[in-house]
Amino acid sequence: MLRLEGLRAGYGPVTVLQDVSLEVNAGEVVTIVGGNGAGKTTTLRAICGLIKPQGGRITVDGRDTSRLAPPEIVDLGITMIPEGRQLFPFMTVRENLMLGGFKPAARARIPERLEEVLTLFPRVRERMTQLAGSLSGGEQQMVAIARGMMANPRLLMFDEPSLGLAPLIVKQVFQIIDTVVASGTTVLIVEQNIVHTLQIATRGYVLENGRVAMSGPGPELLRDPHVKRAYLGV
Amino acid sequence: MDILIQLIANGVLLGGVFALISIGLTLIFGIVRVVNFAHGELLMVGLYATWLLSAKLGIHPYLAAVPLAIAFFFLGALMQRAIIQPLMNADPHIQIFATVGIGTALANGALMIFSADLRSVDVPWARQATDLFGLASVSRGNLVAFAVSGIATTGLILFLRRTHLGRAIRAVAQNRYAAPLMGIDVNRIYAITFGIGAGCVGLAAAVLAPLYPAFPTVGSFFVLTAFVVVVLGGMGSLEGAVIGALIIGLVESLAGYYVAPDLKEVVYFLIFLGILIVRPAGLFGVRGAE
């Protein structure tokens, strides 16, 4: 579905991604793990069209999308749930969810989609009339995921979904991601919390200094001596 | 007692006029985060346009209101696309130079084309007084301006609250980073918002033309008050702008009679300062709201 070939990207004169090649196939749960500054978020931003690649190719179903603007990427069925939730704080949860379904293809079926999404996230239903900014961090993360689901994406990308959340809440967030996966959505997760993610991932990529250092099935990577030493401190 | 009711009626109607001009200004500031110093000059252009349509083509100003609002929508959107958009990531003071420059060019352009003479649209019906429940007497033109202001403001607030496009506009103001991830074209929203702000001015010009003459610097006459209204209400808050406009209108009307006509501005600036000391963000100001 999604394929990156020799992607080079960064900000202004700075190149963060030197050479990143990876692919995500329909139905997979793929994760990109790595330390701070390895280029995980930059990869997602380039896929979303938030930054333009300096080199290499990004293709979706064989079509080059490197030059497309973010709304066009969303129209193709690729939605990102940004790091730090990034809700619209002075709007109600309902309004946030409706904005999730803003793209023309989703707009027509907002009421039906809202029902489907709220069935997956019963906790969000209780908060519908509250301002998004007044929710707790964990609740905000659930709303952010529900908002992403509103676009009915083929590929849902999570940027550091566990960042800044208490361990108990992190567990809940991963349960929710399991629910999303079970609903048939293809998922790409970027995480520093590698134990949780590699356990649920069909495939994982380890990013180091803007390059793919290793890749393989998630649980296998978790047993790798280099990964254990570098990321788990054992 | 009679005079008090009359003064309150005048003040509320004047506030309605200020509100119509101020909502466009506050909307542009709240969403695009650019202070449009050419706002008053747009009003001036609108007053001249109404005068030309009326004096040369015999079109009644009230008939010109909706077409003028639509034309100004496109004018505002074009102004944003051509001049403001390239400066969206520039320093705020560069943006100020640009909008002040547009204003100066428009005012001097009008001086060249129309000279400094006052151009009045003569609508005798609008100048006639009408009785308000036997309590006060106000001009019909003022009542029309107030009603149009009320309808436009309410319509705009409902548009922002209830429609997909309105929600997208507020989303851009509240979180510029997340909005494009929802599929919102942020630059298009900026152009539309500028267009709506200018459209309000076009509408205001048509209903104000029977009451105020057009002259090259008429913009600065209104825009200073509009800035006070916008800051008083809380920059970016439409409801705040309406309340702020009514307060300024009332203060002007009451102070002009009870204090002295020449001191009315002193009085409202004192009240303005007082409110800002207590609430620096304005009456309805919340950082990032709207």
Q: What are the structural domains, with CATH classification, of chain A?
A: 1-77+156-161+187-234 (3.40.50.300), 79-152 (no CATH)
The pLDDT-based confidence of B134 (bands split at 50, 70, 90) is confident
Cα A169 to the center of its chain, rounded Å: 18
Residue A79 has a pLDDT of: 96
The answer to the question of residue B122 being in a domain is no
The answer to the question of residue B127 being in a domain is no
The pLDDT-based confidence of B286 (bands split at 50, 70, 90) is low
The pLDDT-based confidence of B53 (bands split at 50, 70, 90) is very high
The answer to the question of residue B133 being in a domain is no
Q: How far apart are the first and last CA of chain B?
A: 40
Q: Check pLDDT > 90 for residue B265.
A: no
Q: How many domains does chain B have?
A: 1
Average pLDDT over residues B198-220: 94
CA distance B134 to B136: 6
CA distance B146 to chain A (A): 30
The pLDDT-based confidence of B263 (bands split at 50, 70, 90) is confident
Which bin fits B282, alpha (ψ -120 to 50), beta or left (φ > 0)?
Answer: left
Average pLDDT over residues B103-124: 91
CATH number of the CATH domain containing B104: 1.10.3470
On whether any CB of chain B is under 8 Å from the CB of A11, the answer is: no
CA distance A154 to A109: 16
Q: Do B168 and A99 touch (CB under 8 A)?
A: yes
**Of A52, A73, A78, A102, which to mutate for an interface test with B (greatest number of B Cβ within 10 Å)?**
A102
User: Quick one: which of B73, B71, B28, B90 has its CA closest to B223?
Assistant: B28
Residue B229 has a pLDDT of: 92
Long-range contacts of the stretch B91-100 (C-beta < 8 A, 24+): B92/B35, B95/B34, B95/B35, B96/B35, B96/B37, B99/B34, B99/B35, B99/B36, B99/B37, B99/B38, B100/B37, B100/B38
Average pLDDT over residues B261-288: 83
Beta pairing partners, A207: A212
Average pLDDT over residues B251-280: 88
Long-range contacts of the stretch A110-113 (C-beta < 8 A, 24+): A110/A150, A113/A150, A113/A152
Q: Check pLDDT > 70 for residue B262.
A: yes
Q: Do B167 and A89 touch (CB under 8 A)?
A: no
ipTM of the complex: 0.91
Q: Determine the structural domain holding residue B7 and report its residue range.
A: 2-115+140-278
Q: Check pLDDT > 50 for residue B289.
A: no
Q: Determine phi and psi for B130, rounding to 5 degrees.
A: -130, 155
Residue B175 has a pLDDT of: 92
pLDDT in 10s for each residue of chain A, 234 residues: 999 999 999 998 899 999 999 999 999 999 999 888 889 999 999 999 999 999 999 999 999 999 999 999 999 999 999 999 999 999 999 999 999 999 999 999 999 999 999 998 888 999 999 999 999 988 999 999 999 999 999 999 999 998 888 888 898 889 889 888 888 899 999 988 888 888 889 999 999 999 999 999 988 888 888 888 887 776
The answer to the question of residue B49 being in a domain is yes
Residue B272 has a pLDDT of: 87
User: Quick one: which of A7, A25, A23 has its CA closest to A15?
Assistant: A7
The answer to the question of residue B131 being in a domain is no
The answer to the question of residue B242 being in a domain is yes
- For the CA atoms of A3, A79, A162, A51, what is the dihedral angle to 10 degrees? 70
In this complex, which of A71, A147, A151 lies closest to B180 when CB atoms are compared? A71
CA distance B77 to chain A (A): 20
The answer to the question of residue B159 being in a domain is yes
Quick one: what percent of chain B has pLDDT higher than 90? 68
Quick one: what percent of chain B has pLDDT higher than 70? 98
CA distance B20 to B22: 6
Q: Are B35 and B99 in contact (CB under 8 A)?
A: yes
Residue B1 has a pLDDT of: 56
Residue B287 has a pLDDT of: 54
The answer to the question of residue B120 being in a domain is no
pLDDT tens digit sequence for B146-155:
999 999 999 9
In this complex, which of A88, A90, A151 lies closest to B178 when CB atoms are compared? A88
